[in-house]
Amino acid sequence: MQRVCFLLKVRADRLDEYRERHATVWPEMRAALSATGWHNYSLFLREDGLLVGYLETEDFRAARAGMEATGVNARWQAEMAPFFETLDGARPDEAMTPLTEVFHLA
């Protein structure tokens, strides 16, 4: 199982709304994530907007490609893009660059 951690930055003026949106993630989005291999997916948000994402998957590239093929992902990403800083034209899911794991205690 591959562990993936990534960072994004939520705009300071959108923190409350971002939290609200994630309190009620669309059921079809949740189902698509599960079906495409996103397990133990968590998001952590710091008060300055730093967003830390974590998930476990057999193959992150395949999991991303699986989501890319769903219509619900395109709709969700379009709605979420305005919440983030420095995407440089990329969708939030395209900006998820995994950090390098340097230690893991099993």
Q: What is the pLDDT of residues 36-69, one digit of tens each?
A: 999 999 999 999 999 999 999 999 999 999 999 9
Residue with the two structure tokens 């057999």: 58
39 is catalytic: no
What is the C-alpha separation between 12 and 96, in angstroms, rounded? Answer: 19
CA dist., res. 37 & res. 23, Å (int):
21
79-102 pLDDT per residue, tens: 999 999 978 888 899 999 999 999
- Give pLDDT, residue 104: 95
| One CATH from 2.60.40.60, 3.30.70.100, 3.40.190.10, 3.20.20.70 for 2-83 | 3.30.70.100
Which of 12, 17, 22, 26 is labelled catalytic?
22
**pLDDT given for residue 91 in this prediction:** 87
Report if pTM > 0.75. yes
Segments making up each domain of the chain, as ranges:
2-83
- Residue 87's CB is within 10 A of a number of other CB atoms, namely 16
